[in-house]
Amino acid sequence: MKVLKEVMSWVIPIVIGLAIAFAIKAFVFTRVRVDGPSMEPNLQNDEKVVAFKQSKVKHLSVIVFDAHGEDPAAKTNTNYVKRVIGLPGDTVASKNGYIYVNNKKIKQSFISQSERTSGTGNWTLASLEKSNGWGNGKVTVVPKGKYFVLGDHRSVSNDSRYWGFVDKDKIVGVVKVPFWTSTKTRRANINDMAY
């Protein structure tokens, strides 16, 4: 009996600790690895970031989402990291290297002019839908429960321009870069850009 009590005295705290760790990962935050160059210069390939599951998604938030079923080429358990440009009900368009949300030019100080203009082109949601075949032929605004996302490095990013919107239920969380990594400017371009 004494041995059982002694064993339980260290087993129970381990079980409780594991349960707390799983609960935090399931409901509070999770670590994510950035895969690829689509969020350069602000996030680098293989960079580790944190996705907060309860944070509110806003314009210019950087999010992690399950890409399987959103991007037809994404395999099961594939997460993408992208910047939210359009919220439900927004119009989104690109003209001469500038992004317009609800007919207002958005500030894109988080990327250079060449990153902003290379590969971006001139488009509306309707023209993207028509040229890439991802909608029902009538899209003029971001649908309810959906988000329009772009990578910061527009010329290499595989994003909403090519496969459509991200469903709210697919979002894992809002990305934050830990204070001990990256540079102050790059952290601010991820952590402080949302409005």
Give the start-to-end residue ranges of the domains of the chain: 2-191
The 10 Å Cβ neighbour count of residue 4 is 9
d(CA 88, CA 173): 17
List, by residue number, the catalytic residues: 38, 82
- Domain 2-191 falls in which CATH fold? Umud Fragment, subunit A (2.10.109)
pLDDT at 46 over 80: yes
Q: Identify which has the larger pLDDT, 61 or 4.
A: 61
Residues in the chain: 195
Q: Which residues pair with 124 in a beta bridge?
A: 93
- Provide mean pLDDT across the span 10-36: 68
Q: CA-to-CA distance for 105 and 136, rounded, in angstroms?
A: 27
For 93-138, the pLDDT digits (tens) are 999 889 999 999 999 989 988 888 887 789 999 999 998 888 777 8
- Quote the distance between the C-alpha of residue 151 and its chain's center: 9
C-alpha 44 chain-centroid distance:
14
Question: Averaged over 34-55, what is the pLDDT?
Answer: 91
**CA 107/CA 156 separation, integer angstroms:** 20
Q: Band the pLDDT of 171: cuts 50, 70, 90.
A: very high
Residue whose pair of structure tokens reads 């609960």 in the numeric block: 23
Q: What pLDDT score was predicted for residue 11?
A: 64
